[in-house]
Amino acid sequence: MKVSRAVASFVLATAACLAAPQAAAADAPHAPSKKSSSSSSLFPVDTLVAAAHVLTMDGTDRVFSPGAVAIKGGRIVAVGTPSGLAALYSPKQKILRPNAVVLPGLVNTHTHAAMNLLRGIADDLPLMDWLTKYIFPAEGKNVSPGFVKAGTLLACAEMVRGGTTTFADMYYFESDVASAVDQCGMRAVLGETWLDFPVPDHKDLAESITMTRAFLEKWKGHPRVIAAVAPHAPFTNSKESLLAARDLALEFKAPLLIHVSETKDEQKQITEKYGTTPAKWLESIGFLGPNVLAAHGVWLDADDMRLLAERRVGLAHNPESNMKLASGIAPIVAARKAGIAVGLGTDGVAGSNNDLDMWEAMDFAGKLAKVSTMDPTALPAKDLLRMATIEGARAMKLDDRIGSLEAGKRADLVAVDLGKARTHPVWDLYSTLVYAAKESDVTLTMVEGRVLWNGTRVTTLDEAKVIRDAEDWRKKIAASLAAPAAPK
């Protein structure tokens, strides 16, 4: 790659000021006070990341050009200019990305990670055909701890390569999902999914409660894995199971993940059964609260949105899934106006997306909002990046620790290369990131101060083995679907 003169001088300047810090630090916000400029008085940190730009996504949208982030013990110590931080901190390692913009790690608010093994198993079908002819049989015959671990590792490799640092998940055997997340080093909110019919890891409500309680206990206090309860949806879970899930979540102060108002058919079923909308039904039984993260919300009406805002429910918007499954267009502009924190999600890859690309999620969310409101000013680039970072974190009630680059928060960040033809020239960083950058432009993914993707390889996983295992599972699943059904 050709290094421009400006980039070369950035590298030299940054390296020089990191090696021999002399300058005053007046331009370094959040910096501890400094009595002397001698190297012995420098505050030791683990890592200093320096780049052409640091985009903080904090309350005042500060941008440092050039910028740097100092990290110690997995937390951000300071954000500022490279010269300012170099005058204060002595890092054990320096990560220089002179062609890149550093920003908070992306937050995917809705996935079913293990379903990565079913990517492309069946596409372009009506939802019920897709579910009953392909997904349910494939899951019924194959979903096991091994399946879940292999699928989640595949998803983690895809996500860290693309700059996602945190995700919310709903599936089965979530303790095995958690092991995969822990191995990869990502951050996640993992919801053990309950349905009113037998699923691969539990057959009735009593078992759901017992195994989810054990899951919540096992992962309690983990720095990056947050165990959660995930009743599937108001039309697939009874009042009894919804309330049992709520009570368990409250007991463990855990999040509650659920699909709400995804399809018109769901809306119809709930209206016929309860005479109201899914959101109002959940409110009437006392389910809604700040720990709830609702996925989709495609068919929310104005009263539903007021209600979700009042109860501080977070919303996960999945534009590509909603388009691909022809679910409809979620009223996201109105939802945000009503005061709901709206994050972006990909949904699972088995037919409803088919990837975990948050850059596409931003791009599609923006264009869908514009064409559906016939207003090109709807959801501008900065708002879309906000939804993929700090607002997604707020929807998941994690904004006290992630979503922006600020002193005290966890060091979850990514770098995006701006040195390519498609990301040049840069008139506006938000526009470049949202409308032009691709996940293949991510050259650094860090969670809690640890590099998971360095632009060349996934550092925590044997990616070649993860891919080989996924291929082995594809063959196993194909064979299981071709085999005659087992006698009942």
Choose between 135 and 369: whose C-beta lies nearer to Zn ion: 135
Give the three-class secondary structure for 320.
Answer: helix
Taking phi first (over 0 means left), then psi (-120 to 50 degrees means alpha), and beta for anything else, what does residue 220 get? beta
298/261 Cα distance (integer angstroms): 6
Residues that bind Zn ion (CB under 5 A): 347
Shortest separation between residue 143's beta carbon and Zn ion, angstroms: 15
> By CB neighbour count within 10 A (0-12 exposed, 13-18 middle, 19+ buried), where does 37 fall?
middle
Shortest separation between residue 262's beta carbon and Zn ion, angstroms: 8
Rg (CA), the chain: 23
- Nearest residue to Zn ion, scored by beta-carbon proximity: 347
Tokens of 186: 């990502």
Residue written as token pair 């060091």? 411
Shortest separation between residue 441's beta carbon and Zn ion, angstroms: 27
Judge contact between 381 and 430, C-beta under 8 A.
yes
Shortest separation between residue 372's beta carbon and Zn ion, angstroms: 21
DSSP assignment letter at 408: T
DSSP assignment letter at 440: G
Q: What share of the chain is helix, strand, coil (3-state, %, to 5)?
A: 40, 20, 35
Shortest separation between residue 259's beta carbon and Zn ion, angstroms: 6
Choose between 354 and 404: whose C-beta lies nearer to Zn ion: 354
Choose between 347 and 391: whose C-beta lies nearer to Zn ion: 347
Shortest separation between residue 365's beta carbon and Zn ion, angstroms: 16
Choose between 347 and 383: whose C-beta lies nearer to Zn ion: 347
272/243 Cα distance (integer angstroms): 21
Choose between 347 and 417: whose C-beta lies nearer to Zn ion: 347
Shortest separation between residue 348's beta carbon and Zn ion, angstroms: 6
Choose between 347 and 463: whose C-beta lies nearer to Zn ion: 347
Choose between 160 and 350: whose C-beta lies nearer to Zn ion: 350
- How many residues make up the chain in this entry? 488
The answer, yes or no, to whether the previous bond of 425 is cis (omega within 30 of 0) is yes
289/255 Cα distance (integer angstroms): 10
